[in-house]
């Protein structure tokens, strides 16, 4: 109990004190996860929509893989990205290992299946409703995809938020490919893991509370945006 109370105290003093190191860590966490989710959305929305709408060889397999990979273990993804980016790996020349770039790549791979699989479901449901009308309008395949993604944008936001939740919360992948280097690749989750292993439980928990508050704030902001826009478009 003392630990919990101390943790809230720590969290408050961390935030109110504008601790420079904490701000840096929060900044990197947000930057890495936003970039990763942005990339994953850019690739995952069209990919999911394509799986939902188009017939192509391997479509069923791809759909099944996306669904299965929603639960990819972060450490495994981290390990694979580590192997790719290590000096001897195929992408070793990029020199990305132990940089935020590597962390973005790893989180993007984690989030991509989530965004794509949920998008596929959302787009398929909406297509069910729109199908005959779009057929009647003689909409082409790309026009159909664009229409469904645009009209489904409020639901698709939920898919993106799910991806963001996954990215901001995972520790395994960023730990392996980032290395938790202070002032360079240390993010909220790796800092929590470090403080816990050092026995600074109150500080670790305080960081945890800040992390949860961050995730909540991002979700609230996104949902508020959605609710403000939705009445105009139904």
Partner 1 sequence: MAEPAIETSSILPLRLESVSYEASGKRLIDGVTFDLRAGTRSVILGPNGAGKSLLLRLCHGLIRPSAGNVSWAAASGVAVPYRQAMVFQRPVLLRRSVAANVAYPLRLRRTPARERHARVEEALSRAGLSALAGRAARSLSGGEQQRLAIARAWVMRPEVLFLDEPTANLDPAAARAIESLIDGVHASGAKIVMTTHDLGQARRLADEILFLHRGHLLERADAATFFTKPKTAEASAFLKGDLSW
What residues line the site for partner 1 (CB under 8 A)?
129-130, 132-133, 135-140, 143, 147, 151-152, 154, 231-234
Between 21 and 129, CB nearer to partner 1: 129
How far is 162 from 151, CA to CA, in rounded Å?
19
Cβ-based nearer residue to partner 1, 144 or 186: 144
Shortest Å distance, C-beta 6 to partner 1: 49
Report the residue number, 122 or 167, with the smaller CB distance to partner 1.
122
Calculate the alpha carbon distances from 2 to 7, 12, 86, 91, 146 in Å.
8, 15, 43, 48, 54
8 A C-beta contact, residue 189 and residue 50: no
Rounded to an integer, what distance in angstroms lies between the CA atom of residue 14 and that of residue 23?
A: 9
Using only the alpha carbons of the chain, give its radius of gyration: 20
Query: In the complex, what is the shortest distance from the CB of residue 54 to partner 1, in angstroms, rounded to a whole number?
Result: 18
Q: How far is the CB of 107 from partner 1 (least distance, A)?
A: 31
Smallest gap, in angstroms, from Cβ of residue 116 to partner 1?
22
Between 18 and 233, whose beta carbon lies closer to partner 1? Answer: 233
Q: Name the minimum Å distance from CB 57 to partner 1.
A: 23
| Cβ distance to partner 1 smaller for residue 117 or 148 | 148
DSSP 8-state symbol, 99: S
Judged by phi (left if over 0) then psi (alpha if -120 to 50, else beta), residue 187 lies in beta
As a whole number of angstroms, the distance between CA 174 and CA 97 comes to 11
Measured distance CA(162)–CA(144) in Å, rounded: 25
């Amino acid at each position: 109990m003392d630990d919990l109370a101390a943790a809230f105290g720590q969290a408050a003093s961390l935030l109110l004190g504008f601790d420079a190191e904490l701000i840096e860590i929060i900044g990197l966490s947000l930057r890495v996860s936003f970039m990763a989710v942005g990339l994953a959305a850019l690739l995952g929305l069209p990919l999911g929509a394509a799986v939902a709408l188009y017939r192509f060889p391997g479509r069923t397999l791809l759909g099944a893989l996306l669904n299965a990979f929603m639960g990819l273990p972060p450490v495994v993804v981290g390990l694979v990205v580590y192997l790719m980016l290590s000096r001897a790996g195929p992408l070793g020349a990029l020199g990305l290992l132990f940089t935020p770039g590597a962390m973005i790549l790893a989180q993007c791979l984690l989030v991509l299946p989530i965004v794509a699989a949920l998008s596929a479901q959302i787009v398929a449901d909406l297509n069910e409703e729109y199908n005959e009308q779009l057929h009647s309008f003689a909409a082409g395949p790309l026009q159909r995809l664009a229409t469904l993604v645009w009209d489904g944008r409020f639901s698709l936001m939920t898919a993106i938020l799910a991806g963001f939740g996954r990215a901001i919360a995972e520790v395994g992948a960023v730990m392996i490919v980032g290395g938790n280097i202070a002032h360079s690749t240390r993010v909220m989750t790796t800092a929590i893991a470090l403080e816990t292993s050092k026995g600074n439980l109150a500080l670790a928990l305080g960081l945890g509370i800040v992390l949860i508050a961050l995730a909540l704030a991002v979700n609230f902001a996104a949902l508020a945006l959605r609710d403000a826009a939705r009445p105009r478009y139904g």
